[in-house]
Amino acid sequence: MSCVKHWQRRALERLGPRKIVPLTVSAKDKYYLDGKRIYLLGTSIGIGTCSDLKDINIAVFGREKPASPRFPRNGSESICQWAALLRRPTEKELQEERNGRDIRCLLAVEGIKISKLEKDKGFNRVYFVLTGKKELYVNI
């Protein structure tokens, strides 16, 4: 995700919370949303021309397990200022966004925040809840 597309980064930035609570994300930890496992896809880092919010890293999760998560500079963990779930938009979201226009390739990101953290042997179990913020964007 460190080479994330311009529009996806802009959508992720709009999900930012009022109060930033940094979290360390790691490939070895286990993550859950609504009682179901989610997987760390990578970190969107706040550098370059694709980012309005410099030095703000955003952890990106998905429901499908990636071959390997992407971290900045080939690391295995990253400190992030907030997190988001990458997903397909619902049919209702698509209808509202398109509003009669022929827009294709839409994806959604939805804000998530930590509700509970449990330490286990050598890893953490991190439980998230939705924040209510979501954005659709064209995946170019």
Q: Which pLDDT belongs to residue 115? A: 93
Separation between Cα atoms, residue 42 and residue 39, nearest integer Å: 9
Pairing of strands 30-33, 124-138: parallel
**CB distance 137 to 3 below 8 Å:** no
Residue 4: is its pLDDT beyond 60? no
- β-sheet bridge partners, residue 26: 77
Within 10 A of 81 (CB to CB), how many other CB atoms are there?
A: 17
Separation between Cα atoms, residue 24 and residue 7, nearest integer Å: 25
Separation between Cα atoms, residue 120 and residue 41, nearest integer Å: 22
Residue 72: is its pLDDT beyond 70? no
Mean pLDDT of 43-58: 72
Q: Which pLDDT belongs to residue 71? A: 65
Amino acid at 96: E
Provide the percentage of residues in the chain whose pLDDT is more than 90.
33
